[in-house]
Amino acid sequence: MAKKMAKVVVPVTDIWSRPQFESSRLSQALFGEKVRVLRRKPRHLYVRCEDGYEGWLNESHVTELQKDSRLYAESVVKVPVAEIYHTPKAKTPSGRLSFGSLIEYDQKLSGMLRLIDSGGWIKEHDLRLKKPPRVSARAIITTLKTFLGIPYLWGGKSGFGLDCSGLIQLVYGFYGYELPRDSKDQRKKGRKVARRNLKPGDLIFSPGHVAVYLGKSVIIHSSLRAGGVKVESINESSKFYREDINKKIIEMRRII
């Protein structure tokens, strides 16, 4: 499979720094995501993800793509976690897929779509069927808030767990703003803005961290200290004040 394209066929697969489970999680790849296989070892593949990130993943979590395979699915999961069912009429879900998972389907029945890869069924209203144009900050913020309470996970970029830059890359990418995986690289995108000129949707960077400005000194981010995705404040008079972020802001960037 070396130097070929492959597609993730599990809900989420970890991208590791070394070809062993005990190594550090660098990032994740979602169901339907395409990766380029650069080299392999027993049971592991070294891949380059669509965002340029490289690392090792479990070989059983992907399937090789044929030359005539479509490289991109039109449909994308638009809720933090979507449930999958064995049949269109099943009441109990048999699995789950994350926001941002790429879906290819071949049947539609009673508001349900049949996944080509697994044969399972997903609710049509959990998907974005066509790629929208870039949208307003309000739409992005509304989507960010659907992730409130999702737990923090180092290297996570799915509806099952997120780190700070994973949340930003996942949600902004959904709306066509393709950003790098790490906050240090996200900081190179867009244009610099002064604090007095901050607008909702702007990104606020502190060392090793990124948050989204919501207006009135309020931010949303995925934070280890907060336990996950949470709305907090950079206003000293707020009971939700995050001094560690406010006192260490190094830059603010406008992406939208």
Return the active site residues. Answer: 164, 209, 221
Chain-centroid distance of CA 13 in Å reads 12
Asked whether the beta carbons of 11 and 97 are under 8 A apart, the reply is: yes
Report which residue type is found at 195: R
> Which residue is associated with the tokens 């395979």?
69
Q: How many helices (H) and strands (E) does the chain have?
A: 4, 23
Strand partners, 178: none
Angle in degrees, 0-180, between the axes of helices 137-145 and 164-174, rounded to the nearest 10:
130
Distances (CA, A) of 134 to 9, 38, 90, 140, 195: 28, 32, 36, 10, 25
